[in-house]
C-alpha cells in the first residue's frame, strides 16, 4: 500500500490572502471576519494574512488571479455574497464567479477557495453568514488550511 496524503488545518508560517467583495457588504463583512477568525484561531499570525476588497463578486476572480500569481501566498480565500433579484443578473454573476475561481485555482496551482454565498433570499444569506448554517467565510478558511497542508505533504512526497 502506498502513501495516503491528507491535510491538517495547518498553514505554518505561510502567507494567505483573502479577497472579499463589497457588494452586499452587510454579509461579506461577516464572511471576511469569519475567515480571519478561523485563520487566527488555527495559529496563522496576523502579519501573514493580507486582505483585498473588490467592488462585486464579478471582480473576485481577477483579483484572486493577481494575488495567486504574485507567488507570495500559499492560498487565496474568496468571500462574496450573490443574492437573487428580480432579473437573471444573479445567475450570470454567480456563474462567472464560480467558473473564474475554479480556473484561477487550476491555473495558479495553489488553493483558491470558494467562500461565496449564493442565496435566493435574504434569509438564506443571513443563515450562511454567521447564523443557522454557519459562516461560509470560516468554512472556506478551514478548507484553505487543509489544502495548504495537503499540497505541502504531496510536494514532500
**Which of 58, 73 has the CB closer to ligand INI?**
58
Question: Which one of 52-60, 98-106, 130-138, 143-151 is the stretch in contact with ligand INI (CB under 6 A)?
Answer: 52-60
**Which of 36, 83 has the CB closer to ligand INI?**
83
Q: % helix / strand / coil in the chain, to the nearest 5?
A: 50, 20, 25
**Which of 39, 117 has the CB closer to ligand INI?**
117
CA distance 121 to 127: 10
89 assigned to active site: yes
Binding mask 94-133 for ligand INI (x = CB under 6 A): ----------------------------------------
Task: Report the DSSP pairing between strands 75-83 and 129-131.
Answer: unpaired
CA distance 139 to 131: 13
Q: Which residues contact 109 (CB under 8 A, 6 or more apart)?
A: none
24 in contact with ligand INI (CB under 6 A): yes
User: CB of residue 87 vs ligand INI: minimum separation in angstroms?
Assistant: 9
Question: Three-class SS of residue 135?
Answer: strand
Question: Which one of 55-63, 67-75, 105-113, 125-133 is the stretch in contact with ligand INI (CB under 6 A)?
Answer: 55-63
Q: Output the CA–CA distances (angstroms, integers) from residue 101 to 41, 46, 72, 108, in the order listed.
A: 25, 24, 18, 10
Q: Which of 8, 41, 72, 89 is catalytic?
A: 89
134 in contact with ligand INI (CB under 6 A): no
Torsions phi, psi for 73 (to 5 deg): -115, 145
Instruction: List active site positions.
Output: 89
Amino acid at each position: 500500500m502506498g502513501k495516503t496524503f491528507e491535510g491538517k488545518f495547518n498553514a505554518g508560517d505561510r502567507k494567505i490572502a483573502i479577497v472579499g467583495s463589497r457588494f452586499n457588504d452587510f454579509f461579506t463583512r461577516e464572511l471576511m471576519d469569519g475567515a480571519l477568525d478561523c485563520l487566527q484561531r488555527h495559529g496563522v499570525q496576523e502579519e501573514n494574512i493580507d486582505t483585498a476588497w473588490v467592488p462585486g463578486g464579478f471582480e473576485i476572480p481577477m483579483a484572486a488571479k493577481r494575488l495567486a500569481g504574485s507567488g507570495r501566498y500559499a492560498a487565496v480565500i474568496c468571500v462574496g455574497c450573490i443574492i437573487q433579484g428580480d432579473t437573471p443578473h444573479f445567475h450570470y454573476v454567480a456563474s462567472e464567479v464560480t467558473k473564474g475561481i475554479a480556473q484561477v485555482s487550476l491555473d495558479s496551482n495553489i488553493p483558491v477557495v470558494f467562500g461565496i454565498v449564493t442565496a435566493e433570499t435574504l434569509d438564506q444569506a443571513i443563515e450562511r453568514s454567521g447564523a443557522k448554517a454557519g459562516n461560509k467565510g470560516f468554512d472556506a478558511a478551514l478548507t484553505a488550511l487543509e489544502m495548504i497542508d495537503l499540497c505541502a505533504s504531496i510536494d514532500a512526497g
